[in-house]
Chain A
Amino acid sequence: MTQLDLIRNFSIVAHIDHGKSTLADRLIQLTGTVADRDMKAQMLDSMDIERERGITIKANTVRLEYPAKDGNTYILNLIDTPGHVDFAYEVSRSMRAVEGSLLVVDASQGVEAQTLANVYQALDAGHEIVPVLNKIDLPAAEPDRIRQQIEDVIGLDASDAVLISAKSGLGIPDVLEAIVKRLPAPKGDRNAPLKAMLVDSWYDAYLGVVVMIRVMDGVMRKGDRVRMMQTNAVYGIDRLSVLKPQMVDIDELGPGEIGVLTASIKQVRDTRVGDTITHERKGCEVALPGFKPAQPVVFCGLFPVDANEFEPLRDAIEKLALNDASFTYEMETSAALGFGFRCGFLGLLHLEVVRDRLEREYDIDLITTAPSVVYHIYMKDGTMQELHNPADMPDLTYVDHIEEPRIKATIMVPDEYLGDILKLCQDRRGIQADLSYAGQRAMVVYDLPLNEVVFDFYDRLKSVTKGYASFDYNITGYREDFLVKMSVLVNDEPVDALSMMVHRDRADMRGRAMVEKLKELIPRHMFKIPIQAAIGGRVIARETLSAMRKDVTAKCYGGDATRKKKLLEKQKAGKKKMRQFGKVEIPQQAFINALKMDG
């Protein structure tokens, strides 16, 4: 067990790509936590998708031992937090387990939208913040200007910001010293009853459920019987470890320490993030405040392409949910797609990450239906229904009005792209709330409907600004608008998986875009296929996919039989990636791609 004043717990907050993961790597390396030969880039991003997309999704933690200049060896616990807006909630949660933050800002780019959002969360959590200017090796780095910007925009004293290059390793020792000298040590009483915060939990194929904890008071030992105060479940601790980042077993954890435990916990659902863990006997009286669970804001249906894969999909979703408390699911049946799940996500990236993992790790081909936000349907009888799925839209004669969620979007963008951004926001039914400048960057605040943002707004934003804009949002409330359900008919059959709620003024344009896209995405069949978008019984857009005219192998003799057979078998297998709607086969990617708009 470690003396409190020799512990520092911190997280790193940064806008995406400002160098958080690289800095974490350097800290791990410099403290010799991982031998050089075992070092791989982005140590803490362990999931494939994280590594591939270069984003941190699950908060991860590592314990470093640092012999400081004052002669003491400190224990530093670093919790790595996700940078993307979808995961803001996880950020705020893990921040509650630590006392300070390193605020990493790219010295060539300056403050971005997520810098702001994350720093406010750190301040909310009562953190001491050490500004770190990264990438000073770049010729475009302007540490003085960025220092000033931090003071102007965030109101944080940046005069003794640490200047570093996480890439080259320059300044990393100064970061370690700053952590020790400038961040506060945790507080706690080792003689008080055990009080530990359940920070996170995940499912590990070998270990079962792993629970990450931060001890506030008291001492937790291997073999102890502990109670989860919210669920009242009691477990014996099988194993107590710290993460370096591999698990290293330890006998006990005292106040201020962060580690993980395993007990015979069956599923992550049995653990509540934010719960308080205490001893079964002589437990503490008052629990920690706890966190409110994350609210999913985007919903979509996930169906197996092959209807026989419903059971494997159920297993996979249950396993994934074990690891992701912010993802919700319930069974759904669709006329066309059969059995599947209606799932809720924190945002579109979250949706894509979950879908990718299901496809990749569990090898299930999925159809993703049109993502939808949660609408409030006010009925004439005065009741209100939440609508998660356009297919469930009640009969309009009973509906009084519909409200949709709105957001406050903060966008930071270089001057030259401001016009494009304003146009994009305007096109998406935005109302400008604020426009100001921080250096040569404009900061625009828009009030936007979430349904216009949820799908491809971020992609469009990136493409119209060549990646120079940054974006963050929070939901502000609900407002009434003229919303209608648009359905899509393929070969005269409605495809409920493609129906969506749209604003009446945008319906014609979206309908047209949708049928045009579908015409490209659906392969030609032996017959022609009308594709229509409709509101109620009225068709608002129509295209016809002409019939396939020629698809035949010119030569096929004795020697070709085997080869041709393989070819046709491949074609047959290809059909398995499609779903049948009436007589029409629609490929799985068509569902998600049909919704992407070019404008």
Chain B
Amino acid sequence: MDDWRNGGFGLYLHWPFCQSKCPYCDFNSHVAASIDQGRWQRAYLAEIDRIGAETQGRVLNSVFFGGGTPSLMEPELVAAILERVRATWPAANDCEITLEANPGSVEAGRFAGYRDAGVNRISMGIQALNDADLHRLGRLHSVAEARAAFDVARGLFDRISFDLIYARQDQGLDDWRHELREALAMAADHLSLYQLTIEDGTAFGDRFARGRLRGLPAEELSADMYAVTQEICEAAGLPAYEVSNHARPGSESRHNLIYWRAGDYAGIGPGAHGRLTLGGVKLATEAPKAPGDWLQRVERGGHGEVPRVALDARDRAFEYLMMALRLREGLDLTRYQAMGGQLNSSKINELVEIGMIARDDSRLWATAQGRMVLNAVITELAGD
């Protein structure tokens, strides 16, 4: 049961606070009046110690500070965490240490501190390149501020990614083409381009349910936007390596590849999920979502997790299929079969015939066309 080694080992740290809540966002993020960063530091360190003891000797391929808005963390806090991480696991030579940052001016002021703490990659949530749309998305920063923050980051880090949300309200195909070209002009080595998803339980979700969120693209336009995105990025040397992620070859996010390649990752912090292979069994771990709840449990009970769930062969194979097909490289058939995964060859042939998937002796992957309807491809392949 060393299968996880094919994907590597990473650490995800969740910082659950933001300055304000964006109307589209269903991440575990909260607005708090004051945050006692010292208290949070003790909790993170305790959790690192606990997980470290279970995973002794593993080589760490990546650390990711996600949120929420991790760029609200004091650089000292990030430094203390990374120091403990280094003391706990041997790091791979090319260990990737990413921090998710909001592109405000205050955040930018902390970037140098993060670099000094050991962060070597920044992922910025720029979201849009026009102020009116940033406003509609409930963002606190302007395009100018975002560009300035991005320039600061460029001066400090070799590896920088940023996120854009497209297929926004009233966005036309040409609007997006234009915006994307601008984005590519400033891009470094990586871009995450997400189509706006209306999530239940968000402000947008409520408005949508009441019929009050107008101007969203219909399926046709959203499909065209997606296709155009693939084309333009590919031509600019940042092809998609995953459904929504583009990189210069070699600059793919190592951390996210761990998820899609079904590696192991420890999840620490409120609401963080993990996958850990321990004693030959792949466990799904999950932390309580409410920040106060998590903090208290770590402080009092000694750990911040809800009961772990052992994944059976079916779950593992399905998860691998579902995650790996998001990648251009697709699924390793030998691995999949070793997990106990099954594929129906007539289904495969049908999907190959209509151009949704392709395969060779060792791999099976979704074509560009297949990736656009990946949910349907996966449900077909997963059969019953």
Q: Which residues of A contact B (CB under 8 A)?
A: 525-527, 548-559, 561-562, 564-565, 568, 571-572, 575, 583
User: When A and B form their complex, which 4 residue pairs have the shortest distance between CB atoms, in order from nearest?
Assistant: A549-B223, A550-B223, A552-B374, A559-B273
Nearest CB on A from B336, distance (A)? 16
B370 to chain A, nearest CB (A): 8
Residue of A nearest to B274 (CB): A558
Inter-chain CA distance A572–B383, complex, in Å, is 8
- Chain B residue with minimal CB distance to A527? B354
Q: Give 1 or 0 for each of B308-319: 1 = CB within 8 Å of chain A CB.
A: 000000010011
Cβ of B356 within 8 Å of any chain A Cβ, yes or no, is yes
* B360: Cβ under 8 A from any A Cβ: no
| Residue ID in chain A nearest B197 by CB atoms | A554
| Contact partner, B376, options A551, A554, A559, A562, Cβ 8 Å | A551
Shortest CB distance A38–B (Å): 41
Supplied contacts A559-B267, A561-B323, A562-B286, 11 more A-B pairs, CB within 8 Å: A526-B373, A548-B219, A548-B373, A548-B376, A551-B374, A552-B373, A553-B197, A559-B273, A565-B319, A568-B318, A572-B379
Q: Is the CB of A565 within 8 A of B322?
A: yes
Instruction: Chain A residues near B323: list those with CB within 8 A.
Output: 556, 561
Whether, in the assembled complex, B378 has its beta carbon less than 8 Å from a beta carbon of chain A, the answer is yes
20 A-B contacts (beta carbon < 8 Å): A548-B376, A552-B243, A552-B375, A553-B375, A554-B197, A555-B197, A556-B243, A557-B256, A558-B273, A561-B273, A561-B275, A561-B322, A562-B273, A562-B284, A562-B286, A564-B322, A568-B378, A568-B379, A572-B382, A572-B384
| CB-based contact B197/A526 at 8 Å | no
Q: With A and B bound together, what is the CA distance between A561 and B375 in angstroms?
A: 13
**A554 touching B322, Cβ below 8 Å:** no
Residue on B nearest A569 in the bound complex, by CB: B318
Decide yes or no whether B226 CB sits under 8 A from chain A: yes
In the complex, what residues of B have CB within 8 A of residue A526's CB? Answer: 351, 354, 356, 373, 376-377, 380
Do A575 and B379 have beta carbons less than 8 Å apart? yes
Do the beta carbons of A583 and B350 come within 8 Å of each other? yes
- List residues of chain B with CB under 8 Å of any chain A CB: 12, 194-197, 219-220, 222-223, 226, 243-244, 256, 258-259, 265, 267, 271-275, 284, 286, 315, 318-319, 322-323, 326, 350-351, 354, 356, 371-380, 382, 384
Interface residue from A550, A553, A557 paired with B259 (Cβ < 8 Å)? A557
Q: Are B319 and A561 in contact (CB under 8 A)?
A: yes
Nearest CB in chain B: distance from A559 CB, A: 4
* In the complex with contacts A550-B222, A559-B271, A571-B384 CB distance below 8 A: no
**Shortest distance from the beta carbon of B151 to any chain A beta carbon, whole Å:** 27
Knowing A554-B243, A555-B197 are in contact, say whether A565-B318 is a contact too (CB < 8 A): yes
Chain B residues whose C-beta falls within 8 Å of the C-beta of A559 in the assembled complex: 12, 267, 271-273
Contact at A558–B259, with CB atoms within 8 Å? yes
Write the nearest CB–CB distance from A570 to chain B, whole angstroms: 10
Contact across chains for A552 and B371 when beta carbons are under 8 A apart: yes
Q: How far in angstroms is the closest Cβ of chain A from B310?
A: 13
A184 shortest CB reach to chain B, Å: 63
Distance of B368 from chain A, by nearest CB (Å): 12
Q: Are A552 and B273 in contact (CB under 8 A)?
A: no
In the bound complex, what is the Cα–Cα distance between A576 and B370 (angstroms)? 23
**Residue of A whose beta carbon sits closest to that of B259:** A558
Contact A561 B259 (CB under 8 A): yes
| Complex alpha-carbon distance, A550 and B356, angstroms | 12
8 Å CB contact of B322 from A527, A550, A555, A568: A568
Q: Quick check: B350 and A552 within 8 Å, CB to CB?
A: no
A117 to B326, CA, bound (A): 66
Docked CA distance A305–B246 (Å): 42
Please state if B319 and A555 are interface contacts (CB–CB under 8 Å): no
Contacts of A568 in B (CB 8 A): 318, 322, 375, 378-379, 382
Q: Tell me, in angstroms, the Cα distance from A558 to B13 when the chains sit together.
A: 12
**Is there contact, CB below 8 Å, between B379 and A571?**
yes
Least CB distance, A238 to chain B, in whole angstroms = 47
